[in-house]
A and B are shown apart, each in its own frame.
Chain A
């Protein structure tokens, strides 16, 4: 054999466990990531619903399940903090990233570059299973004596070093999850660069591929410092070192016996060095998905392809030098804070450019209001609110008042929830016909969209006002403070809206899990009239994606000037 061939020659069927459980097919792995991530997103959401009950009705027994959780039926402060830490951790590391990168990245990138699979199929399989194990380890945190990890998703020492056992489990789980990400990102980059179809130059990559490659570089380079930091914190907890413990600690009524000499801020620097790029990991795949969908349902080319590409690259690069804007209140002087304020202001530029590019694509369009388009259009103002509210946080003077308040929670949720999650839902509706050969139900999709859109704004918009009035984050019960008591009634509105938002996901889940059997069949392989390579494959694509190699003749998002018909990348003839 001259060219390397994977798995078995011939056409014998693989047993179920090889085909669907330990598969090396990127499409199966992508779906595995997608289903697992959906479960974790739901679970993380449910944790928050419990917390929102406590916030709306402090100390009141939770109906139906309260007694199963605690003696009184109401949340305790310890349990509240644990749910909070786990909500953040699960949503980010077990939910959004595996969905955006593991599911969408894995499924689409090989198809969109015209490859038969990822460059390292076995490594791909491993990255899923390491994620799965990491997820199990993270969830086992709930079973540990002393309760689940409760030091926030940020795990600041000394609180985290002196916390009960579950914090070590949290750190260990992070090591697994980081490893999974690293394996996945190597695969994405090598696949996108090396396995391109004939004619697919870099400037003909779909924006989604650019976004996934940039995301992969962020994961590759930003995660290892957190892995290092997690090892250091594990060492503090398990081996008794003092990397993050200063001398002279007096905790729990006694002097600390640790050697001391450590620095709590060292953790913060190492953590945020990852965690800031991490938020761009959360948004970039969403931007990629939105770009594909908006151009398709605007029926015209994406505005400013090159600008979009350079903005994505610049954003990725800048994301490495803004991290300490999370640390303005830790004793930062004038020089360091000026540097990070400046870089934070600068990083808003590519964000604005990306948003503008997408908005300008709508000028002169012919907009089809399908369900994926509804979610994508909603993404634009939601992302705008999230991005704009970052400005007062990125300037030190205004951050004095707003740091660690609900304003911050509103800011980042707007970007991730009606931002990224809406984009990923749009992606599910959009690529479902390619994956299954059937459409999802439009009516259920519209119900899902409208109820979610209204409810999600009712949950997060009041947070900006609460934060401005001074209500801190992570409060089990804010009514002890006068500014907390003054805004307590809003919690009832927000919690009700959150519950409605949960209910709104039921039509979506039902739709997703039944339409593959009962949905309307697609008329052809490119039912939406898109331009990128995945639409050249059949629906669903076979194991090797393209039985005959596909060739690329033009850039994506092309429309013939004369007929105004879509000219896919893979069609030799212009329409």
Chain B
């Protein structure tokens, strides 16, 4: 009574990818459309008024630069964690994945500091203050939710999920690759976000 799904751990001969990998690429395409829509909204709003402030006047560029470095570093470590599995080294996988998680948490903490500095301003700076801040909060907030999603997935794969290494190592490696793809995307969104919001 069990169902057999092929190409879960081996790639399809014609497409060259596993089901999960194709699925993640499709999902990322939809995410491009999501953030693309928000960036278009930002551009529309910005072009619609004469007095759009400069990001560097209102936002904390040093902290955001730190976050950029942190996130790029975490993208490197997530690749290293995948490479470790390819080289059959579970311990190294765990080290690099833990580093990735650490970087992600640092990112969120820095973000929280940034947000807090706005909320505790007198008067508090919130999305209601102006559309500049509104779009800043919404885009970085949605991005932050995606970071949290990634943390949950990566933590699972580091912890209970890593038991799959013993029974289906190829499938597990495929999962890390997919998680890594998602993580690179989240990083890439930030790389667009940072200059557009903070530096322009």
Choice from B5, B19, B138 contacting A116 with Cβ under 8 Å: B5
With both chains docked as a complex, state the minimum distance between the C-beta of A484 and any C-beta of chain B, in angstroms.
37
With known contacts A194-B7, A261-B48, A119–B27 Cβ distance under 8 A:
no
Is the CB of B30 closer than 8 A to any CB of chain A? yes
A232 to B138, CA, bound (A): 7
Quick check: B45 and A543 within 8 Å, CB to CB?
Answer: no
With known contacts A221-B33, A259-B128, A231–B138 Cβ distance under 8 A:
yes
With both chains docked as a complex, state the minimum distance between the C-beta of B170 and any C-beta of chain A, in angstroms.
9
Listed stretches A6-14, A51-59, A293-301; interface member: A6-14
Which chain B residues in 92-144 approach chain A with CB under 8 Å?
126-131, 134-135, 137-138, 142
Quick check: A259 and B3 within 8 Å, CB to CB?
Answer: no
Is the CB of B146 closer than 8 A to any CB of chain A? no
- Give a binary string over A222-243; 1 marks a CB under 8 Å from any B CB, 0 the rest: 1111011101100100011111
Is the CB of B199 closer than 8 A to any CB of chain A? no
Listed stretches A262-270, A302-310, A370-378, A400-408; interface member: A262-270
Choice from B23, B130, B137 contacting A259 with Cβ under 8 Å: B130
Quick check: A239 and B131 within 8 Å, CB to CB?
Answer: no
A229 to B33, CA, bound (A): 12
Question: For residue B6, which residues in chain A have a CB less than 8 angstroms away from its CB?
Answer: 3, 194-195
Listed stretches B8-16, B56-64, B147-155, B185-193; interface member: B8-16
With known contacts A6-B2, A261-B130, A544-B1, A120–B37 Cβ distance under 8 A:
no
- Give a binary string over A347-375; 1 marks a CB under 8 Å from any B CB, 0 the rest: 00000000000000000000000000000
Q: Of residues B3, B23, B168, which shows the largest number of chain A Cβ atoms within 10 Å of its Cβ?
A: B3
Q: Of residues B2, B29, B171, which shows the largest number of chain A Cβ atoms within 10 Å of its Cβ?
A: B2
A263 to B42, CA, bound (A): 11
With known contacts A194-B19, A239-B127, A220–B3 Cβ distance under 8 A:
no
Q: Of residues A5, A190, A231, which shows the largest number of chain B Cβ atoms within 10 Å of its Cβ?
A: A190
Question: For residue B33, which residues in chain A have a CB less than 8 angstroms away from its CB?
Answer: 221-225
> How many residues in A have their beta carbons less than 8 Å from beta carbons of B?
56
With both chains docked as a complex, state the minimum distance between the C-beta of A233 and any C-beta of chain B, in angstroms.
11
With both chains docked as a complex, state the minimum distance between the C-beta of A166 and any C-beta of chain B, in angstroms.
22
With known contacts A8-B1, A194-B12, A240–B45 Cβ distance under 8 A:
no
Choice from A117, A258, A263 contacting B128 with Cβ under 8 Å: A258
With known contacts A240-B128, A259-B129, A266–B44 Cβ distance under 8 A:
yes
Question: For residue A190, which residues in chain B have a CB less than 8 angstroms away from its CB?
Answer: 19, 22-23, 26
With both chains docked as a complex, state the minimum distance between the C-beta of A110 and any C-beta of chain B, in angstroms.
10
Of chain A, the residue at the smallest CB distance from B49 is A261
With known contacts A223-B30, A270-B37, A243–B134 Cβ distance under 8 A:
yes
With both chains docked as a complex, state the minimum distance between the C-beta of B147 and any C-beta of chain A, in angstroms.
16
Is the CB of A4 closer than 8 A to any CB of chain B? yes
Question: For residue B5, which residues in chain A have a CB less than 8 angstroms away from its CB?
Answer: 4, 6, 115-117, 119, 121, 195
Choice from B15, B26, B134 contacting A186 with Cβ under 8 Å: B26
> How many residues in B have their beta carbons less than 8 Å from beta carbons of A?
45
Is the CB of B41 closer than 8 A to any CB of chain A? yes
Is the CB of B70 closer than 8 A to any CB of chain A? no
Is the CB of A273 closer than 8 A to any CB of chain B? yes
Question: For residue A261, which residues in chain B have a CB less than 8 angstroms away from its CB?
Answer: 45, 48-49, 130-131
Of chain A, the residue at the smallest CB distance from B130 is A259
Of chain B, the residue at the smallest CB distance from A119 is B19
Quick check: A4 and B168 within 8 Å, CB to CB?
Answer: yes
Choice from A4, A120, A241 contacting B131 with Cβ under 8 Å: A241
Is the CB of A493 closer than 8 A to any CB of chain B? no
A242 to B132, CA, bound (A): 10
Which chain A residues in 180-209 approach chain B with CB under 8 Å?
182, 185-187, 189-190, 193-195
A139 to B9, CA, bound (A): 41
Q: Of residues A13, A232, A258, which shows the largest number of chain B Cβ atoms within 10 Å of its Cβ?
A: A232
Is the CB of B4 closer than 8 A to any CB of chain A? yes
Is the CB of A143 closer than 8 A to any CB of chain B? no
Question: For residue B44, which residues in chain A have a CB less than 8 angstroms away from its CB?
Answer: 263, 266, 269
Which chain B residues in 54-103 approach chain A with CB under 8 Å?
none
A261 to B137, CA, bound (A): 16
Quick check: B2 and A8 within 8 Å, CB to CB?
Answer: yes
Quick check: B8 and A3 within 8 Å, CB to CB?
Answer: yes
Is the CB of A254 closer than 8 A to any CB of chain B? no
Question: For residue A397, which residues in chain B have a CB less than 8 angstroms away from its CB?
Answer: none
Quick check: B15 and A193 within 8 Å, CB to CB?
Answer: yes
Question: For residue B135, which residues in chain A have a CB less than 8 angstroms away from its CB?
Answer: 243
Question: For residue B45, which residues in chain A have a CB less than 8 angstroms away from its CB?
Answer: 243, 261-263, 266
Is the CB of A334 closer than 8 A to any CB of chain B? no
Is the CB of A1 closer than 8 A to any CB of chain B? yes
Is the CB of B34 closer than 8 A to any CB of chain A? yes
With both chains docked as a complex, state the minimum distance between the C-beta of B85 and any C-beta of chain A, in angstroms.
17
Question: For residue B8, which residues in chain A have a CB less than 8 angstroms away from its CB?
Answer: 3-4
Question: For residue A258, which residues in chain B have a CB less than 8 angstroms away from its CB?
Answer: 128
Question: For residue A12, which residues in chain B have a CB less than 8 angstroms away from its CB?
Answer: 1
Question: For residue A225, which residues in chain B have a CB less than 8 angstroms away from its CB?
Answer: 33-34, 36-37
With known contacts A1-B167, A224-B31, A186–B23 Cβ distance under 8 A:
yes
With both chains docked as a complex, state the minimum distance between the C-beta of B46 and any C-beta of chain A, in angstroms.
10
Q: Of residues A189, A263, A269, which shows the largest number of chain B Cβ atoms within 10 Å of its Cβ?
A: A263
9 nearest A-B pairs in the assembled complex, by CB-CB distance: A240-B128, A241-B134, A225-B37, A224-B34, A4-B8, A228-B37, A241-B127, A224-B33, A239-B127
Given contacts A235-B138, A239-B128, A544-B2, 17 further A-B contacts (CB under 8 A): A3-B6, A3-B9, A5-B2, A6-B2, A116-B3, A185-B26, A187-B23, A190-B19, A190-B23, A220-B29, A220-B30, A227-B34, A240-B127, A241-B128, A258-B128, A262-B131, A263-B45
7 A-B pairs in the complex with CB atoms less than 8 angstroms apart: A4-B168, A6-B4, A193-B22, A239-B128, A261-B45, A261-B48, A269-B44
| Chain A contact residues, CB within 8 Å of chain B | 1, 3-13, 25, 115-117, 119-121, 182, 185-187, 189-190, 193-195, 220-225, 227-229, 231-232, 235, 239-243, 258-259, 261-263, 266, 269-270, 273, 543-544
